[in-house]
């Protein structure tokens, strides 16, 4: 039986997973900023007090801070890590002001801001290219090889040999596409477009809820139709097809994340399923225990997650800045500083509240509250 790694190894694998991804995210901001002629004052991995660092010949302070749950690049003219302008930047000499972030045209500021999440998606794509090149691509047609007796599929009228073309209008190219769509929709009625004997049918089905407990004790809820696929085929892709397959795989992971978030927002999934850094560390240790391929695939998924979260239109995140830039592009002038200040303060409170909430969920998943209640009782 595979055992969960100890605390020290879990922390180590967590840092190995998240540290490089944070660095590459911030490096995306930094490199595009340099290309646009913006000077970086600070490049930090982590927040809080500096643990180690150095200053390069361009005057950028590269540092590692004690709390490694994020990072930032502070550009010339920034008052803080959220890239709000300080009060003195307009009074700088022309050549100095031209090196500041806020002196740049709108499209350059947007490009610098978007570069971090884009870097995360590119990292995931490169990882998937390596995985696909090394192990090949598992391809299974979206065809029903068998129907489980008494299952939701049998009640809906599925037959062996049916080919699922689309679900709720979304194309299903592979059997895994069916699984990704169905597993997030337990108890939800959905419309299947099916090819059977040369004819196209529309079948209405509702996945049953299935609960799994993995080898580490994590409870996973998913929708289940009860259809079986044929045997998968491991296909060695030619080099020219690897980027496209990696992009498709990245899209599949991103689509699952978006679907899960929509379901939580709309109340179809419990907010207790949201995890934070403690749960991320636990998963990092578990995936590392399962082997290098499992761990590196997990790192790619985390990278996609970082890119996706940072694109959400929440002040303090990259998506919040891009939202303000979109408004600026429409109204042809920057959003008033007072409105930005209010939004960033609100965003900071919202992010801190979310961090506390997911940490509470993490501790609950570890059974801490249950054990405390037992001690008190």
180, 155 contact by CB (below 8 A):
no
H or E, element range at 40: strand 40-55
Could you say which of 26, 183, 193, 286 is catalytic?
A: 26
* Cα distance between residue 164 and residue 174, in whole Å: 9
107 DSSP assignment: H
In three-state secondary structure terms, 266 is: coil
172, 178 contact by CB (below 8 A):
yes
Strands, DSSP E only, in 169-327?
A: 170-171, 190-196, 199-205, 208-213, 219-224, 227-228, 233-235
220, 187 contact by CB (below 8 A):
no
* Cα distance between residue 286 and residue 220, in whole Å: 15
Closest by CA position to 302, among listed 283, 289, 315, 322: 283
Report the relative pairing of strands 233-235 and 137-139 from DSSP bridges. Answer: antiparallel
Token code pair at residue 207: 């996945």
- For tokens 């502070």, name the residue: 74
Q: Which residues of 84-108 are buried (b: 16+ CB within 10 A; e: fewer)?
A: ebeeebeeeeeeeeebbbbbbeeeb
Our CA angle for 241, 245, 246, nearest 5°, is 115
157, 65 contact by CB (below 8 A):
no
Q: Does residue 26 carry a catalytic annotation?
A: yes
Token code pair at residue 142: 């979206």
- For tokens 């696929």, name the residue: 229
**Active-site residue set:** 26
């Amino acid at each position: 039986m595979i055992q969960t790694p100890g605390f020290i190894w879990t922390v180590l694998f967590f840092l190995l997973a998240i540290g490089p991804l944070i660095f590459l995210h911030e490096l995306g901001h930094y490199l595009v900023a340099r290309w646009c002629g913006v000077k970086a004052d600070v490049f930090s991995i982590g927040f809080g007090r500096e643990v180690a660092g150095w200053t390069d010949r361009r005057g950028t302070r590269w540092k590692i801070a004690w709390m490694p749950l994020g990072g930032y690049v502070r550009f010339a003219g920034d008052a803080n890590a959220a890239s709000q302008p300080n009060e003195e930047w307009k009074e700088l000499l022309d050549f100095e002001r031209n090196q500041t972030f806020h002196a740049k045209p709108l499209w350059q500021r947007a490009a610098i801001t978007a570069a971090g999440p884009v870097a995360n998606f590119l990292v995931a794509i490169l990882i998937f290219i390596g995985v696909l090149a090394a192990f090949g691509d598992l391809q299974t047609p979206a065809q029903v090889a068998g129907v489980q007796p008494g299952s939701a599929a049998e009640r809906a009228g599925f037959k062996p040999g049916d080919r699922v073309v689309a679900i709720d209008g979304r194309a299903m190219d592979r059997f895994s596409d069916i699984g990704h769509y169905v597993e997030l929709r337990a108890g939800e009625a959905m419309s299947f477009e099916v090819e059977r004997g040369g004819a196209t049918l529309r079948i209405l089905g509702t996945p049953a809820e299935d609960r799994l407990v993995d080898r580490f004790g994590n409870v996973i809820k998913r929708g289940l139709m009860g259809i079986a696929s044929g045997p998968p085929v491991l296909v060695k892709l030619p080099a020219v097809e690897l980027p496209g397959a990696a992009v498709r795989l990245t899209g599949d992971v991103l689509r699952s994340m978006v679907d899960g978030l929509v379901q939580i927002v709309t109340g179809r999934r419990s907010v207790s399923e949201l995890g934070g850094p403690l749960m991320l560390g636990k998963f990092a240790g578990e995936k590392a225990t399962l082997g290098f391929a499992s761990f590196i695939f997990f790192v790619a998924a985390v990278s996609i997650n970082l890119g996706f979260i940072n694109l959400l239109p929440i002040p303090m995140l990259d998506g919040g800045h891009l939202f303000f830039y979109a408004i600026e592009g429409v109204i042809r002038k920057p959003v008033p500083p007072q409105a930005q200040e209010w939004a960033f303060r609100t965003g900071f409170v919202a992010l801190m509240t979310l961090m506390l909430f997911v940490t509470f969920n993490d501790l609950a998943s570890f059974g801490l509250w249950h054990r405390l209640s037992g001690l008190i009782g």
